[in-house]
Structure 1
Amino acid sequence: MKYSGGALLSSIRLEHGADKNLNAQLYMAIRDVILSGGVKAGERLPASRTLANELGISRTTVINALDRLMAEGLLEARQGAGTYVSEAMNAERPAPGPTPQRTIADKEPRLSHTAHHFTKHFTPRNQLPTQARAFVTGLPSFDTFPMAQWSKLAAKHWRNDRNLVMGYGDPRGDPALRRAIASHVNASRGIQCDPDQIFITGGAQQAFQMIGAMLLNPGDRVWFENPGAIGAKNSLLSCGADLVPVDVDDEGISVADGLEKAPHFRMAFVTPSHQQPLSMVMSLRRRFALLQAVEEADAWVIEDDYDSEFYFGGQPLPTLKSVDTTGRVIYVGTFSKSLFPALRVGFILSPPSLVEMFERVSISSQSGIANSLQATIADFMDEGFFATHIRRMRQVYAERHEALITAARDKLDGLLDVRRTLSGLHTVGYLAEGLDEGEGARLLDEAGIAVSPFARYCLSPIDRQGFALGFGAVNPQEIGSGVARLAETLRTLQRNKSLR
C-alpha cells in the first residue's frame, strides 16, 4: 500500500526542550502538511511505531497527536489497514480556480461612519509602559507600593466562597467598594455623594466610552483641551464625537475660545486638577466660567481627576464636581495612579439625574469587575491603608519632582525649560527655540530616555514644542542620571541643527 512516509517525515521538525511539548509540535506539523496539501486525501500515514522510531520520540506521543487529528476529522482509522488522510478533505476544499486579480484581503473593509471617523482621527497610544525609566509618563512608583499588606488582603478574598470568587460581579460594582469610594471622595475631594451614584468600570477609558455612548450622537460637538488626554480623545472619537480643539492657557481650558469655536456644544472634557499634559491647575474663576457655559448650552462636563490625590502645592482647589450646583459634571476617577495600572479599575460618579440611566446601561452591557479584586480594594481603603499610602506617596512624589527641577536647573539651561507643577506624576519641559520635539524624542528613545512630545496630545498644532516628563516612577538618583543623558542628547540635537 502506498503511503506518504517520505513527504511527511521530511517536513516534520521537532525541537526537544522547547516551550511547546512534543505532542503539540507533532500535531501541528502533521496538521500543517495535511492542510497545505503536502499529503492528499486518501493517502496512508506511516504506522505510529515507524513515526516514533524515525522521529526519535515515544509511541505514546505519536498516538496522542494522531488521536487529536482524528477527533478533528483530518485523519481516519481503517480497521486493519492503518491511518489515512480523511477523504473529506477533497470534498471540503474546492478545486483551485483562476488566480483572482484582487483578493478580498487586498480590499479596504467597509467600515461604519463612526469607525471611519475614529480610525481617521485617533492617536495611537503605542506600547503602554510596563517598566519604569526616566521620564516615562503614566506609571506610579512600583518600588514603594505596600505589597505585603495588599497580598494579605487579596489572599483573604481568594479564600472566600467559590461562587463569589469565580462568578460574575455586580455590573454596577461591589457595594462595599462603592461605599468606600463615596467616603473617600467626600473626605479628600469635598464631593458630597451617595454610593448609588458610583459605578465601577474597567479603568477610566471604559468610563469615557460608556459616557460617550450614553450621551453623544455621532457628530455631536465636544470641547476638548488642546493638547489633551490621548485615551479620552480616542474613547470619545470611537463614540462618533466631533472633537473641538480648545486652547489651554495658564488658567486651564479657555472658555472664550470654546464659545468662539463651538457655542452649541454637547459636552466638554477637562482635567482641571492637573491638566494632561501641560500640568497647570484650572483656576477657580475658569471653573465657574466653564460651568456657566455648560449650563447655558444644556451640555455635560466630564471631569477626569486621574491623579488628584498627589497634590503637593499646598491646599488643593476644589474639584469641578464639588462646586457644580446644577448637576452637569460627570466625575471620573481611577486607581491606575493611586494604586497601580494593572488593576484596570476606575469609576464614574454620576449626577443624580443620570443615575438611573447609568444603572440601566451597566446592567445591560457590563459584566462586572472581579469580585475578589473589588473587595481587596474596598478593604485596602476601609482599613486605612489607602489613606496612609496616599500620604506617603504625596511626599515621595514631591521629593522626586524637586529632584527633577533641581537637576534640570543645573544641566538643562538653554536646552529645556522644565516647569514646576503642583501635583501629579509628571510635568512639562519647553524646548529651546529651533529644536524639534519629534527628532528630539527619537534621539532620546535611542539613548534610553522616554519623553512624550506635545504633538502626540494635540488635535491641532500649538505654538510651543516640548515634552511631558514623568517623575513618579523613578527615584531621585535615576532622575539625576536621566537628566544628564537628556542634556547630552539635546546638546547633540542642537549641534546637528547648527551644522545644517
Structure 2
Amino acid sequence: MVKRAGGALLLSIEIDHASPRPVGTQLYSALRELMLSGAIAGGERLPATRTLANELGVSRTTVIHAFDRLIAEGLIESRVGAGSFVSGALNSDRPQQPPDAGRSGTSRREPRLSRAMAWAVDRFGPRPRLPHQPRPFVTALPAFDAFPMAQWARLMAKHWRADRTEVMGYGEPSGHAGLRRAIAGHLRSNRGIPCEADEIFIVGGAQQAFHLVGSVLLDPGDRVWFENPGAIGARNSLLACGADLVPVPVDREGLRVDDGLALARDFRLAFVTPSHQQPLGHIMSLERRFALLSAAEQAGAWIVEDDYDGEFFFGRRPLPTLKSVDRTGLVIYVGTFSKSLFPSLRLGFMLVPGDLVETFRRVAAAFVPGVPSSIQAAVAEFIDEGHFATHIRRMRRIYQERHGALCEAAARQLGGLLDVVPTDSGLHTTGHLPPHLSELAVAAAADAQRITVSPIARFSIEPTAVNGLVLGFGGVKPPAIRAGVEVLARVLEDLARPARRRATG
C-alpha cells in the first residue's frame, strides 16, 4: 500500500457545529465508525492532528482529545517520529455483521433462549403490558390521590439527611433492621402471624421474592402447583426459574387440592393467593387450607402464600392467613408495599420458615442487590409512627366506596351484558360475560375507548370455563368509575348487537 504523506483523506466526516452534541464527541464517533467498518484499513496512516483540524474546521485540541480516546481503546497506534496509524489488529478476522442486518447494525437473527424462557415468551410474551396510569378499570393500582404525600415527603427528607454511609452504602443484604422489626410487629398484630424480625427478608417487590424462592428451592423441571387462573407476576418469575407449572383449577373455596394431587402428586412447590384469589377473588376455605398443608407435608413440598392485597378487607372479617395456621413450617409468606403504599417503591418482603432462614441469609448476602436503605428506613418509621395503620384504615373505606360505585353503576347499566361479582376485599373484582361475547374481543374494543378490562384468559395457563373480565376499581374515583361503566356498556352493546342478529336471523 502506498503511503500518503498527509495521511488518509477524511473528508467524509461531517461536523455539525449547531448540534448540541459536543464537536469532540462527533469527531471521535465518526473516526471510530470509519475504523470499525473497515473504511480506513488497519495500518493506514492518519492525518496529522493539525492537518485534520484545518480540514474539518475544528481546533487542534479537539482532534488531539479524539485521538487520545481512540489510542486508549487500542484503535489507533502512535509511533514516535512517524505519526498516528489505524491499529493493525483491525485487519484480523472479526465477527462480521450479518448480511440481513438493518441500517442500525442490529442483527435480525433470532436469539437462542433457554427452553423455559423460549416457551414462556412464545406462550405469554406477545401480550401487551397493561397501562399503568389510573383509568377505568386498570388493576393493581392503589389510590394515588389518597396517599399522605406530605408525611411521606417529610420522612424521606429526614432519612436523606442521615449518615451518608447509611444513605449511600449497600445496606444490610437481608434488609434494614428497623423495617424488618416493623414488619414483624405488623404481621403479629394485624395478620395473626407469629414471627420474628430475623425471619423477614426485604426484597425489591414481590416478583423478586418469587424468583428468589424459585431459584433457591427449585431445579429446572420441578413441578409446581399453580392456581389456574392465577397471578401473572408469580407465573412469569417461576417460569424463568425453569419450573414446570401444573395448572390446578380453583373454585369458590380456592385451589382444588384433590385436582392437584391427581395432576401431580410429586409437586415440589405450590403457589396460592388464599386471602383474595388472584384474579377471581375467592377466599380459600379452612378445609382447603388444611388439605393443602397436609398435601405439602406428604410431598415434602413448599408453599408460597402471596398476600398481595390482604390488608384491604371490608365487610366481614377475613379468614386468617395460611401462614398463621401453618404448623408444618412449609409456608413462605410474601407481602408487598406496592398496593398498601405505591408500586414505584419496588419494596416487598418474605417471611420464611425457620429451617430456611440461614439459607436465605447466605443467598441474600451473595445474590440480592437490595433496596435503598433510605426508602426502607422511611417505611419503617411510617409504620412505627402509626401512619401506615391510619393509611390502611382510610384505604379500606375508600376502596369500599369505589367498589360500591362500581356495583351500583353495573347494576343500572350492565344488566344482561356483564354480571359483576361483589367482593369483600381488594382493589379489583370480576364480571361474567354471556357466552356469545368473547372476553378477548371485549378487552380489545374497550381499550380502543381508553378503558382497560383484563380478560380472565390473560391470567390462565390453560383455558378455563370462565368467560369474564377483571375490573380494577382501586385507582380511580367514583365519578370516573361511573363514566367508565357507561363506556363499557356501549362497548358491550355494540358487540352484542351482531350476535343477537345472528341468533334471530
Q: TM-score under structure 1 normalisation?
A: 0.88
Note the C-alpha offset of 1:359. 2.0
Note the C-alpha offset of 1:80. 8.6
Query: 2-side partners of 1:224 and 1:357: how far apart?
Result: 24
**8 A contact 2:274–2:283 mirrored in 1:** yes
Q: How does 1:53-452 map to 2 (within 5 A)?
A: 64-75=65-76, 86-88=86-88, 90-92=90-92, 112=114, 114-115=116-117, 118-119=120-121, 126-127=128-129, 129-452=131-454
Query: 1-side partners of 2:384 and 2:312: how far apart?
Result: 19
The alignment partner of 2:320 has SS state of: coil
Query: 2-side partners of 1:187 and 1:114: how far apart?
Result: 41
Note the C-alpha offset of 1:362. 2.0
Query: C-alpha offsets along residues 183-226 of structure 1, whole Å, 9 cap, x if unaligned?
Result: 01111101111111111112111111222222223332221111
Match of 1:29 in 2: 30
Q: 1:8 aligned to 2:8?
A: no
**Change over 3 Å in CA distance of 1:413–1:215 after alignment to 2:** same
Query: 1-side partners of 2:63 and 2:147: how far apart?
Result: 49
**8 A contact 2:6–2:48 mirrored in 1:** no
Query: 1-side partners of 2:172 and 2:51: how far apart?
Result: 55
The alignment partner of 1:303 has SS state of: strand
**Change over 3 Å in CA distance of 1:22–1:398 after alignment to 2:** farther
**8 A contact 2:309–2:427 mirrored in 1:** yes
**8 A contact 2:53–2:63 mirrored in 1:** yes
**8 A contact 1:225–1:269 mirrored in 2:** yes
**Change over 3 Å in CA distance of 1:46–1:402 after alignment to 2:** farther
The alignment partner of 1:143 has SS state of: helix
Query: 1-side partners of 2:377 and 2:82: how far apart?
Result: 61
Query: C-alpha offsets along residues 263-295 of structure 1, whole Å, 9 cap, x if unaligned?
Result: 332221110111111112222232223223323
Note the C-alpha offset of 1:351. 1.6
**8 A contact 1:170–1:367 mirrored in 2:** no
**Change over 3 Å in CA distance of 1:318–1:132 after alignment to 2:** same
**8 A contact 2:74–2:87 mirrored in 1:** no
Query: 1-side partners of 2:328 and 2:252: how far apart?
Result: 26
Please tell me the residue identity of whatever aligns with 2:328. T
**Change over 3 Å in CA distance of 1:13–1:381 after alignment to 2:** same
Please tell me the residue identity of whatever aligns with 1:162. R
**8 A contact 2:200–2:351 mirrored in 1:** yes
Note the C-alpha offset of 1:150. 1.3
Query: C-alpha offsets along residues 13-52 of structure 1, whole Å, 9 cap, x if unaligned?
Result: 648465x545434433343233223344425458668758
**Change over 3 Å in CA distance of 1:86–1:143 after alignment to 2:** same
**8 A contact 1:123–1:456 mirrored in 2:** no
Q: TM-score under structure 2 normalisation?
A: 0.88
**Change over 3 Å in CA distance of 1:240–1:320 after alignment to 2:** same
**8 A contact 1:222–1:269 mirrored in 2:** yes
Note the C-alpha offset of 1:112. 4.9
Note the C-alpha offset of 1:74. 3.4
Please tell me the residue identity of whatever aligns with 1:302. V
Query: C-alpha offsets along residues 340-373 of structure 1, whole Å, 9 cap, x if unaligned?
Result: 1111111111122222222232223223322212
**Change over 3 Å in CA distance of 1:340–1:61 after alignment to 2:** farther
**Change over 3 Å in CA distance of 1:239–1:73 after alignment to 2:** closer
Please tell me the residue identity of whatever aligns with 2:72. A
**8 A contact 2:49–2:63 mirrored in 1:** no
CA RMSD of aligned residues (A): 3.1
Please tell me the residue identity of whatever aligns with 1:163. T
Partner residue of 1:483 out of 456, 468, 485: 485
The alignment partner of 2:432 has SS state of: strand
Note the C-alpha offset of 1:339. 1.0
**Change over 3 Å in CA distance of 1:477–1:61 after alignment to 2:** farther
- Give the aligned length: 492
- Report percent identity of matched pairs: 54
Note the C-alpha offset of 1:444. 1.6
Please tell me the residue identity of whatever aligns with 1:452. S
Match of 2:103 in 1: none
Please tell me the residue identity of whatever aligns with 2:135. R
Query: 2-side partners of 1:226 and 1:138: how far apart?
Result: 19
Query: C-alpha offsets along residues 276-318 of structure 1, whole Å, 9 cap, x if unaligned?
Result: 1111222223222322332333322111000111111221211
Please tell me the residue identity of whatever aligns with 1:88. G
Please tell me the residue identity of whatever aligns with 2:384. D
Please tell me the residue identity of whatever aligns with 1:182. A
Query: C-alpha offsets along residues 398-452 of structure 1, whole Å, 9 cap, x if unaligned?
Result: 1111111122222222222111111111111112221111122122222111221
